[in-house]
Amino acid sequence: MRPWLLRLGTERSLERLNALSRELDLRTASGQPVRFVPPAPADAYYEVHLFETGRVQTRPDNLHDLFNALAWLAFPRTKALINALHAEDIPRERGRRGRRRDLVTLLDEGGAIVQCDDGGLVELARGFRWKELFWEQRARTRRAMRFRVLGHATLEQALQPWPGIACKALFVPFGEEPDAAAHAWLAALGAGATPHALAPLPVFGYPGWLPDNARADFYDDTRYFRPFRERPHTAEPVPPALPRDAVP
């Protein structure tokens, strides 16, 4: 999101955000031009109204809302599909959010797109082998794995970083544009998808993200770097795997 934050500059206003939206021709999946507007009273059908009108309620002086607007600019296809999936599911849920909407909410608020072609590193991440990933393979991780944080709540938390900030991650090849790759991943999800399709990721462990993580014993704290635990087997569907020559 950094390029868009730089483009925004010090004028953090709806007018400036909308100028950037028009420049990008930002649109919802329904084809409506995205416009950042003042907030309205809370509404359970907020996502439906956004899908139908393109109106993103935004307080430009509120960091949570500002990062959400920047996410629309940086990841336009992914954000539009997240909104479309909400709008598709809400009318049939009868007031209780379903598991697929749990997934897209976690991605929207705390998601990260992890670009990596190194299958060994992806295996370490999926296996919760955090010390191996972030310490023993530190140089390799910095060279071959890039985190692109989509979640606007995580970005807000990162302004005052602390051990424990975590994301839900999806892994994509380096050769694919991150927004397009995340959009394709979401589009492949079935109606029965659940949050288990996303991998937990303690982003504060990435080399250099916190000063303290320059020590090996930083990664021994299991309050934050939790070990892997098997989940009971279920028949829930999982998204299709990426090509084997990219990420296993």
Would you say how long the chain is, in residues? Answer: 248
Phi, psi (5° rounding) for residue 237?
-70, 155
Q: What DSSP character marks residue 135? A: I
Digit-coded pLDDT (tens) for 79-117 = 999 999 999 999 888 778 889 999 999 999 999 999 999
What residue type is 159 in one-letter code? L
Digit-coded pLDDT (tens) for 25-73 = 999 999 999 999 999 888 889 999 999 999 999 998 999 999 999 999 9
Distance between CA 145 and CA 139 in Å, rounded?
10
Structure tokens at 51: 């899908």
Distance between CA 241 and CA 139 in Å, rounded?
27
Residues above pLDDT 70, as percent of the chain: 92
Q: What is the pTM of this model?
A: 0.88
Digit-coded pLDDT (tens) for 139-160 = 999 999 999 999 999 999 999 9
Whole-number pLDDT of residue 230: 60
Residues 6+ apart with CB under 8 A from 219: 130, 131, 134, 135, 205, 213, 225
